[in-house]
């Protein structure tokens, strides 16, 4: 009988992180299209500036993909990277979440990126808690 420690990756969490990364990349591309003159569905107001919101979405998405793949391998760096990404998601989205709680009437149900904000906030909060609780498997 072996007494070796068996690591068990949480496939669902890893897949959710990868899927969220893909959604952020998609959102970033759709926000970039108006910058180069390509029409997108009505209601999109891209943030154009230094870097822009589109660039932040794409970079965050790419790192979520990398981190999710690394978590499948139980890589310690992936856990640290995921904690940083999830923390950023909470910090980036908390202002919108709080404003919707304080004044629910300003929530635009037709603007689908609002649902990404809610998803990113929830994934960030619960993901941080989950990774802290299961941190022993990365030792």
Domain boundaries of the chain, sorted by first residue: 11-138
Six token digits for residue 59: 């970079």
Handedness of CA 29, 109, 126, 88 (dihedral sign): positive
pLDDT tens digits for range 3-47: 444 455 578 999 999 999 999 999 888 888 877 877 766 666 555
| pLDDT band (50, 70, 90) for residue 1 | very low
- Phi then psi for residue 108, to 5 deg, are -95, 105
Handedness of CA 39, 43, 47, 48 (dihedral sign): positive
- Phi then psi for residue 42, to 5 deg, are -60, 150
């Amino acid at each position: 009988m072996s007494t070796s420690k068996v690591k068990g990756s949480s496939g669902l969490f890893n897949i959710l992180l990868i899927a969220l990364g893909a959604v952020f990349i998609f959102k970033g591309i759709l926000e970039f299209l108006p910058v180069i003159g390509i029409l997108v569905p009505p209601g999109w107001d891209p943030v154009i500036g230094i870097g822009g919101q589109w660039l932040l979405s794409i970079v965050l998405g790419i790192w979520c993909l990398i981190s999710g793949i690394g978590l499948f391998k139980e890589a310690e760096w992936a856990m640290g990277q995921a904690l940083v990404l999830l923390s950023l998601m909470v910090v980036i989205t908390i202002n919108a979440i709080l404003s919707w709680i304080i004044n629910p009437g300003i929530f635009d149900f037709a603007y689908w990126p609002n649902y990404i904000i809610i998803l990113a906030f929830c994934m960030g909060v619960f993901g941080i808690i989950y990774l802290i609780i299961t941190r022993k498997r990365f030792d």
